[in-house]
Structure 1
């Protein structure tokens, strides 16, 4: 295996640590056509790498990676497997719709991380026979992390209250503003609920983070909503009584599965890939509608019946086993081996 990286960071450090051969190539700023002049310099370098490595197949982990390697791969006769992580929201007649139709014809296969992503690809006009759903897999939380529960709750003055928690980067499409509106409704209904938000914003979204904090203050929730900043989620999640996923269009939330693996029921919307993870009243509660009121209803349900919430949490832990990284990566491996075999027929 050789890995061609278009960026440097935690992933390349992991490759180095694992002793996996990898190389770096600076990509164009964007795959949009106005950067075509940069692609003209980039493509010969990719071609050289493909000729040198002579892969049996190329795995492209996103749309950008696929679009950047497919011209050189086609020329060399190398099949490319495309991994699709995002729900296509643009219409079939949009620029993106046209891109999906064009590139799905060129792909040897397309892995979709959820049936929701697969449906959006079909709606955009992708070739149905090339699409396969393989959910993301997780590495299960380290042993002993649940021992952090009392420590974290004591740090933030949480006693017997029901603690609803969430984790993530503060991005506008992740619904943290929806969560705060739902928290305001739920807090008015049940004085025993508190909320903890583990995470923060990247530099480009700092204004969004500040608006969230202002909203908490303006809604009189300063004593009910806790912002922790960036923390190790596995150390903090044991302090939660249940998890809240406020994103309305989640392709497949790994953190949702991680929460389940830690025995936490999930309050979420009945949308996207979430409904492929959460079954209502089984391992979580799905909101009746895509509004703050709907999400607040799911939160209140979990906060109002501790016995039921613990029971749902136990089932959440059992259900999470479906999404082991070993099982899901095994399915990816099987698909890669099949595509290589088909190529060599």
Structure 2
């Protein structure tokens, strides 16, 4: 009998980020395996996923409740209502294992299991992360890098219930060359193209810092910002215009994003904290040199001594690191070095095999 695996994400379809897309990426691969009946449950229409009723974070109800100061953030509203909406699917599908990464929904599913006498196992992927003190209530824990698992083990986690499995990442879907890729995106072929794949905000992704730093590199630079609008986006666009920057603001699907990586000369992620930073893997898989703050995710992905790690909390450090990168040698050669690091650690086949063994172990208990 096939094992029933439910992958759930309240934000999938309501918002487009790596955090949400990771669920869809796993399902895309696992549904090809004969031993699983895998289903994806989204917060809104998304490819072949089953939508679950909810009040989306950017919907009219959430906007009204924010306006009257009843809520500050629509995410919790979205997740609570999604959790309630998921009950009918739990009762009809009866999954053996539920994979999730939103703790609020996990709390609701724990209650459902107790009230309705259900037997599903909850596998919590701590991608935000929320930390072990909150995640320990779930049956099994997936961490995205070794540092997070070690912290959990030091806090008392059961080794048999914890595993490190990074998200599957976007590897090249096209062999398009850089010149053609730049032309397809309408980019100036004479300019250095720096790509950043992140939501357009200040509080986490620190796009404002990146704009100020890019301005220090001179006029012959295009900043390719691939992400999506957030509350701070208009302010950021105004700042870019004031600085006189050539910024391309693009919201792309996965295939288009692969072309954007191919068009770039190097990649930067200016955030100071990430659950993992899967875009670092994607950039390296597309043979791009990378500049990143040395947070745990970056050190796990690229290695402690990677040449592109720099303290991006300091003003001027990105600009200095970018200049050092350009002086270090040809960018394609540095990109090839980065690809070797990524390919050795994040090979899709190895990660899928690790995940399958973990699910087999869970289902046997």
Answer yes or no: same fold by TM over 0.5: yes
Q: Equivalences for 1:165-244 in 2 at 5 Å?
A: 165-172=195-202, 173-187=204-218, 194-202=221-229, 204-205=230-231, 208-219=232-243, 221-222=244-245, 225-231=246-252, 232-244=256-268
Provide the rounded CA distance (Å) in 1 between the counterparts of 2:174 and 2:12. Answer: 30
> Counterpart in 1 of 2:62?
none
Cα distance, 1:296 vs. partner?
A: 2.0
Contact 1:28 1:42 in 2 (8 A): no
Provide the rounded CA distance (Å) in 2 between the counterparts of 1:181 and 1:199. Answer: 18
Secondary structure (helix, strand or coil) at the match of 1:155 reads: coil
> Counterpart in 2 of 1:26?
53
Report which stretch shifted further, 126-135 or 264-273. Answer: 126-135
Secondary structure (helix, strand or coil) at the match of 1:138 reads: coil
> Counterpart in 1 of 2:142?
111
Q: Does 1:275 align with 2:305?
A: no
Cα distance, 1:167 vs. partner?
A: 2.2
Provide the rounded CA distance (Å) in 2 between the counterparts of 1:257 and 1:140. Answer: 8
Please give the TM-score of this superposition, normalised by the length of structure 2: 0.71
CA 1:126/1:78 → structure 2, altered by over 3 Å: closer, same or farther?
A: farther
Name the structure with the higher helix share.
1
> Counterpart in 2 of 1:135?
166
> Counterpart in 2 of 1:92?
none
Pick aligned residue for 1:320 from 342, 349, 360: 342
CA 1:215/1:249 → structure 2, altered by over 3 Å: closer, same or farther?
A: same
Q: Which runs of 5+ in 1 are unaligned?
A: 89-96
Secondary structure (helix, strand or coil) at the match of 1:317 reads: helix
Contact 2:6 2:95 in 1 (8 A): no
Provide the rounded CA distance (Å) in 2 between the counterparts of 1:127 and 1:87. Answer: 15
> Counterpart in 2 of 1:42?
84
Contact 1:4 1:24 in 2 (8 A): no
Contact 1:118 1:132 in 2 (8 A): yes
Contact 2:240 2:247 in 1 (8 A): no
Provide the rounded CA distance (Å) in 2 between the counterparts of 1:212 and 1:327. Answer: 40
Provide the rounded CA distance (Å) in 2 between the counterparts of 1:103 and 1:281. Answer: 31
Q: Does 1:101 align with 2:133?
A: yes
Provide the rounded CA distance (Å) in 2 between the counterparts of 1:327 and 1:4. Answer: 20
1:325-345 deviation digits (Å, cap 9, x = unpaired): 332232222111111212xxx
Equivalenced residue count is 310
Provide the rounded CA distance (Å) in 2 between the counterparts of 1:79 and 1:176. Answer: 39
> Counterpart in 2 of 1:302?
325
> Counterpart in 2 of 1:333?
356
> Counterpart in 1 of 2:288?
264
CA 1:126/1:185 → structure 2, altered by over 3 Å: closer, same or farther?
A: farther
> Counterpart in 2 of 1:93?
none
CA 1:171/1:297 → structure 2, altered by over 3 Å: closer, same or farther?
A: same
Cα distance, 1:249 vs. partner?
A: 0.7
Larger relative CO (CA 8 A, sep 6+): 1 or 2? 1
Contact 1:138 1:324 in 2 (8 A): no
CA 1:132/1:21 → structure 2, altered by over 3 Å: closer, same or farther?
A: closer
Q: Equivalences for 1:68-107 in 2 at 5 Å?
A: 68-74=108-114, 75-88=117-130, 101=133, 103-104=135-136, 106-107=137-138
1:79-126 deviation digits (Å, cap 9, x = unpaired): 2211110134xxxxxxxx7xx53651x322110112354466578x57
Q: Which runs of 5+ in 2 are unaligned?
A: 32-36, 41-49, 58-72
CA 1:301/1:333 → structure 2, altered by over 3 Å: closer, same or farther?
A: same
CA 1:101/1:126 → structure 2, altered by over 3 Å: closer, same or farther?
A: farther
Provide the rounded CA distance (Å) in 2 between the counterparts of 1:120 and 1:218. Answer: 43
